[in-house]
Structure 1
Amino acid sequence: MSQRITRINALLRREVSEQMRRYYRADTAAITISEVDCSADLRNARIYYSVLGDEEDIRATRKLFRQIGKDIRQRVSREITLKYFPTFYFIYDPSLERGAEINEILDQLDKDQNAGQ
């Protein structure tokens, strides 16, 4: 991946997060934008997000992004100037949840090991 695409990904991630915080704070408080992956031609951007909560919260967040996704794209496009502004595709990213589960397992193993000594 080129340096330009890497910088655009980081810029889009920051700006999407900022627009969500600024205009949809109550609805998006439990949502984290974990990564943005823009195509090389800048026509499409996959925006990966994580949600604190259960399956119902994930479904509600998916529905929320269907409702506000175009507005977020429009607001971000006012802040960032690109020749071609990408279409946003919001995709759930369970990696933060899996990472938290792994940390819990490691903490439990550490406690068990310390208790055995």
Structure 2
Amino acid sequence: MAKYRSGRIDEEVKRELAAVIRELKDPRIPLMTSVVKVHVTPDLKFAKAYVSIMGDDEAVREAVKGLQSAAGFVRREIGARLALRYTPQFTFVADDSIAHGAHIAKLLREIDTDGGDQSGEDSSILEE
């Protein structure tokens, strides 16, 4: 399968998967669940979905369990929405990249607010 085709399939599955997850009524899956990335194998039989879930570690574990228990429903819905030869079997993996990015942004904001007062001191150190 051509690389551009696999990329298109990954993005299409990601888009539909996000829509299906929004429709799930499992209380373990919070509303702030985002599909970060989906990788479908070249034979279209398996897919690994990286999901970002806001909350503590216990909430993330419970949400992944909820997604795994709904994997059959998700597979059926994806199969009905997409015209693929095979409908992939999903594996869900917790991804903390969005939370990590929010943490980095917070640190940068703190540096920016604190750095304005110390900018003169830092430049004098570099001049010596």
Point out the more displaced range, 82-91 or 16-25.
16-25
- 96, 114, 126: which is aligned to 1:112? 114
Larger radius of gyration: 2
Residue in 2 that maps onto 1:4 = 5
Q: Displaced runs of 4+ in structure 1, greater than 2 A?
A: 22-28
Deviations 1:30-88 (A, max 9, x none): 21111101111211110000011111210110111122111111111111111122111
Residue in 2 that maps onto 1:80 = 82
SS of the equivalent of 2:36 reads: strand
1:10 Cα offset (Å): 0.7
Q: Is the CA contact 1:31–1:51 (under 8 Å) kept in the aligned structure 2?
A: yes
1:23 Cα offset (Å): 3.8
How far apart, CA to CA, are the structure 2 residues paired with 1:104 and 1:28? Answer: 23
Q: Is the CA contact 1:45–1:88 (under 8 Å) kept in the aligned structure 2?
A: yes
SS of the equivalent of 2:70 reads: helix
Aligned-residue identity in percent? 26
Q: Normalising to structure 1: TM-score of the pair?
A: 0.90
- AA at the equivalent of 2:97: S
How far apart, CA to CA, are the structure 2 residues paired with 1:29 and 1:115? Answer: 40
Uncovered stretches (5+) of structure 1, i.e. residues with no partner = none
* RMSD of Structure 2 on Structure 1 (CA): 1.7
Q: Is the CA contact 1:21–1:28 (under 8 Å) kept in the aligned structure 2?
A: no
- 63, 66, 69: which is aligned to 1:64? 66
Q: Normalising to structure 2: TM-score of the pair?
A: 0.83
Aligned residues: 117
Q: Is the CA contact 2:26–2:66 (under 8 Å) kept in the aligned structure 1?
A: no
